[in-house]
């Protein structure tokens, strides 16, 4: 769990620094930075999609994952939690919940990429934390930028990083035999599609409830056994 713990610290430190400097940055600049980050997020997603070779697995994973997420109302529950925290902390001028938006955006960006999956697997199976250490440095910078535009919700995403990467690290010891390079590639592909959707949301092009699609990332573990 060392790699995940280091990652959590970097997210907290990065977002903390972003919050300190947030008030000194004009809204015009934060909007421009946000759009620039969104474009980079879309690029990262497109790049990650290219590692997948089984289109049918991606399609079925997303369809079934969306169904599971909708039935569990994952997005509604996460946003509801963010709104409750928002009422106790602060509200922006429009009354819109920024904590939920920051939490969901940062959590997805930090967790659904290839480095989060592969790094956690390496940490759990081989005790090698090098990938997660590299990811931690990237997340330090990313959390700083996101916090200047999305606020304190970015810092709360550290909890999601702990649960997500920690769970993969622990489960890797039990299901490692099923997580071959093909399965990991398809998991990365599905996760990268969600990253593209996240980038489109950040640009205001779409309003997808991306958190409902999170179960899709793990479905290739089963689907690759039959497809």
pLDDT value at position 86?
67
What is the band of 94 on the pLDDT scale with cuts at 50, 70, 90?
Answer: very low
Q: What is the mean pLDDT of the chain?
A: 84
More reliable by pLDDT, 159 or 93:
159
Q: What percent of the chain has pLDDT over 70?
A: 93
93 pLDDT exceeds 70? no
Q: If you average pLDDT over residues 208-221, what whole number do you get?
A: 88
> What are the C-alpha distances in Å from 37 to residues 14, 141, 146, 192, 198?
15, 12, 8, 15, 11
CB 179 within 8 A of CB 221: yes
Residue 122: predicted pLDDT: 81
Q: pLDDT band at residue 89, thresholds of 50, 70 and 90?
A: low
Contact 3, 123 (CB under 8 A): yes
pTM for the predicted model, two decimal places? 0.78
């Amino acid at each position: 769990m060392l790699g995940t713990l280091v990652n959590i610290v970097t997210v907290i430190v990065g977002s903390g620094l972003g919050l300190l400097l947030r008030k000194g940055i004009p809204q015009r600049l934060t909007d421009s930075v946000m759009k620039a980050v969104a474009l980079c997020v879309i690029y990262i997603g497109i790049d990650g999609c290219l590692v997948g070779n089984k289109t049918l697995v991606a399609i079925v994973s997303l369809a079934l994952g969306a169904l599971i997420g909708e039935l569990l109302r994952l997005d509604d529950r996460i946003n509801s939690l963010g709104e409750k925290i928002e009422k106790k902390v602060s509200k922006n001028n429009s009354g819109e919940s920024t904590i939920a938006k920051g939490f969901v955006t940062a959590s997805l960006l930090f967790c659904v990429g290839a480095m989060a999956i592969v790094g956690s697997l390496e940490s759990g199976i081989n005790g090698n934390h090098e990938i997660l250490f590299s990811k931690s440095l990237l997340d330090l910078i990313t959390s700083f930028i996101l916090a200047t535009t999305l606020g304190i919700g970015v810092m709360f995403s550290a909890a999601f990083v702990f649960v997500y990467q920690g769970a993969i690290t622990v489960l890797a010891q039990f299901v490692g035999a099923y997580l071959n390079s093909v399965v990991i590639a398809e998991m990365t592909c599905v996760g990268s599609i969600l990253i593209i959707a996240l980038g489109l949301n950040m640009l205001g092009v779409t309003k997808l409830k991306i958190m409902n699609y999170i179960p899709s990332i793990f479905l290739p573990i089963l689907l690759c056994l039959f497809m």
